[in-house]
Structure 1
C-alpha cells in the first residue's frame, strides 16, 4: 500500500506479518517475528518476484478462491525436471557449487564461547577508531 494513509499501511504490514508468522508454524517465535518485522518490504518484493517468475499474477483472497493449479503444475514440472525430489548423497556433480555451513549456528557458537571482556575490549577499540585485525574467513 503506497497510496494510503499511514495507519492503513501499518495495518496491512501487520496483517502480512501475522500471516507470514503463522505460516512458519512450529519455527515461529516472537523474537523471530521481531527480527523479521524490519524486512517486511523485502519479503513482499520477493513474494511478487517469485509470482512474476512463475508467471502468476497477484491473486487476492477477497472474492474468489485463486486457482493455484497452474502454479502447482509449474513447480511440480520444475521439481521433476531438476530431480529435486531424488536424494543425491554427494549433492550436485559440480565443481562450482559447494555445500554451505550453518552460519547462524557458527555465529551463535562463537558468541557463546567468546568472553564478555573480549567483546567489550573490541567494541571500545572500534569506538576509539582503532583498526582491528581482520579475521580469517572460515567459510569456504
Structure 2
C-alpha cells in the first residue's frame, strides 16, 4: 500500500473536486482537535496515534474501492493484449515532456534532499559515475 500513498490524495482530489470532499481539511481538523485536547507531552507520548485509529475505517473503504474500481480503458487494453513498452518511462518523458519532467523532479526532490542531508559525501558518490576521489 505504500506505493499508493503519493497517488491516493491526487486521485481523491481529482474525483472529489466537484463534490468538495475536503479530506485533507478533515485530517488536519482531527489532528488539531486531538492535539488541542492534550498536553504537548501527552500528544508526543501517545496522542499522535489517535488520528491513525480514526483512519482505520477510511483505509478499509479505500481498499474496498480500490479492488472494485476498474482501470482506465487504455490500461485495460494493455492488460488484455499483454503489450507493454520496452522503456515506459522513456516513452512518457518523450511524449509528455512538459508535464512529466516537473512531476518527476518534484517526486525525486524529497529523496535527494534526504540523501544530501544524511551524507553529502554519499550523495556525491551516488550521482558521480566514478565516485569521490577517483
Superposition TM-score, scaled by structure 2 size = 0.27
> Which is higher, the Rg of structure 1 or of structure 2?
1
Q: Which fold has the larger relative contact order, with Cα–Cα distance below 8 Å and residues 6 or more apart in sequence?
A: 1
Q: Which has the higher helix share?
A: 2
